[in-house]
A and B are shown apart, each in its own frame.
Chain A
Amino acid sequence: MSRLYVARNPKVATRGLGDETMIMSGRDSTLFTLNQTATILWQSADGQTPLDEIVEKRICAQFEVEPAQALEDAEALARELARHEILQIAQEPIGNQNPSGEAR
């Protein structure tokens, strides 16, 4: 099975609010909020770390979730965010990311 890589789109606006992350699409100014686990995925989306590794090391390590289900959910979320051009997804590593994904 091929691995999936995810990278934050640098054109979005983003900020942490409590345990959530607000993201405004650069394409159409639509506002999204990410919950705590989705925020971890967003922060880890450096284009270099495969999604399964993010799920295993960052999500399953912090939350009591079944790994296969967690990966399935993460893939669905990544594809949904990519549809809104918030994340980029590819089957190989993506460019160099700046550190701006950290929610302040």
Chain B
Amino acid sequence: MSLLEQMTVKALHLNIPLSVQLDLTYRCNERCVHCYLDHDDKGEMTTAEIRHLLEEMAEAGVFILTLSGGEIFLRKDFFEILEYARRRLTFCVKLKTNAILIREREAARIRELGVESIQISIYSHRPEVHDAITLVPGSLKRSLDAIRFLKSQGLRVIMANVLMMQNLADHAGVRALAAELGVECTLDPTITPMMDGDRSVLSLGIDQQALRQVFRDSALVGDVDEFCATPAKPRDSELDSTPCSAGHTTCYVSPYGDVFPCVQFPLPTGNVRRQRFIDVWRHSEQMNEVRSIRMKDLATCTSCTHVGSCTRCPGLAFMEGNMRGPSSQDCEKSFARSGIPSANMLAKKRGNANLVQIRTLPHPALEARTGALA
């Protein structure tokens, strides 16, 4: 177990939010086709409110602070907030940005303030593909220029590549580009539904066949046989474990002060404009409900072959209607890895079969009643 994992276990035991993502704004200078956010400003926290929140977070024990958005550099007070977080409150700060507003001066300031890492979204090594996703001409060039400025300052940069059908052919190119620039690279095939529940963006995600190919690429998954192996029967300790760190050692705060278990788990638990951060964390009924869930409590998943190895996201499950239910995107991933359908997929198949019978049987009766009424 790594030292960070040991600290996470300790934080879990002490009920301390070790890591928080704070979105400073939902405004953005890109319009990524898959983005789950509404970019209108509906009343962001002021500088003073954010400083106060950061003080409360430090007091609560938050160590890792991820500043994200929206585009964080659209806030005119961004460096004031960053300086306060680093110099005064000594957070370990990570940034998520598209970086197109980062030039030499900003890169030098980020270095001076001791930021741990900067994660930058890169969708393709080809401008025509990347810019068609961000809907901003020239955005790839500007993001790559920024990466060079940041690297020249000796900063840790991570390229985050969200995989969609639109850029499916380009992940190897992005990895090669990352290697050339001397930065890390991550690949994520997960598309998040819009925060208002609209699931139409999910159609941009890669299909089962593409997922199978990705999961059989040793450059991405390492040992393919091990990654795609038939899952082992879960141990009792696994069934007693918690599904993920959301609400346990991590949480998310929106630009409007709303607190959620995770950025991908839009269950409102409180608001730091009306309540102290630590009170939301410790006493919110919703946060405590999330905390109460164990793997053995899951509606369909407990009986699933994949329960011990699944990447099931409780937030995505919540957006499907039940935080204790399955997350279909993760069912697809388990199926793509192993070729074994999940319990949820099998149940849906059975459900579909029943549905056909239900729909076919009533038709004559319905027609007769309609006729009678006419």
A residues adjacent to B (C-beta < 8 A) = 10-18, 20, 22, 24, 26, 29, 31-33, 98, 100, 104
CB pair B14–A18 under 8 Å, yes or no, is yes
Measured CB to CB, the closest approach of chain B to A2, in angstroms, equals: 30
CB pair B14–A14 under 8 Å, yes or no, is no
Measured CB to CB, the closest approach of chain A to B86, in angstroms, equals: 8
CB pair B92–A13 under 8 Å, yes or no, is yes
Partner-contacting stretch, out of B4-12, B175-183, B342-350: B4-12
CB pair B87–A15 under 8 Å, yes or no, is no
CB pair B7–A22 under 8 Å, yes or no, is yes
A15 to B89 CA separation, bound complex (whole angstroms): 9
CB pair B91–A98 under 8 Å, yes or no, is no
CB pair A15–B61 under 8 Å, yes or no, is yes
Residue numbers in A under 8 Å from B90 (CB-CB): 12-15, 100
Is B63 engaged at the interface, CB distance under 8 Å to the other chain? yes
Measured CB to CB, the closest approach of chain B to A28, in angstroms, equals: 9
CB pair A29–B116 under 8 Å, yes or no, is yes
A-B contact count (CB 8 A): 58
Interface class of chain A by DSSP: strand
Measured CB to CB, the closest approach of chain B to A73, in angstroms, equals: 21
Please report which residues of chain B, range 59-95, place their CB below 8 angstroms from some CB of chain A when the two chains form the complex: 59, 61-63, 86-93
Is B114 engaged at the interface, CB distance under 8 Å to the other chain? yes
A32 to B2 CA separation, bound complex (whole angstroms): 11
Measured CB to CB, the closest approach of chain A to B319, in angstroms, equals: 32
A12 to B16 CA separation, bound complex (whole angstroms): 21
Is B156 engaged at the interface, CB distance under 8 Å to the other chain? yes
Measured CB to CB, the closest approach of chain A to B192, in angstroms, equals: 27
Q: Which residue of B lies closest to A100 (CB)?
A: B90
A24 to B7 CA separation, bound complex (whole angstroms): 12
CB pair B7–A13 under 8 Å, yes or no, is no
CB pair A13–B91 under 8 Å, yes or no, is yes
Residue numbers in B under 8 Å from A15 (CB-CB): 58, 61-63, 90-92
CB pair A18–B114 under 8 Å, yes or no, is no
Given contacts A15-B90, A31-B3, 15 further A-B contacts (CB under 8 A): A13-B90, A13-B91, A15-B58, A15-B62, A16-B61, A17-B7, A17-B14, A18-B14, A20-B10, A24-B92, A24-B116, A29-B156, A33-B3, A98-B87, A100-B90
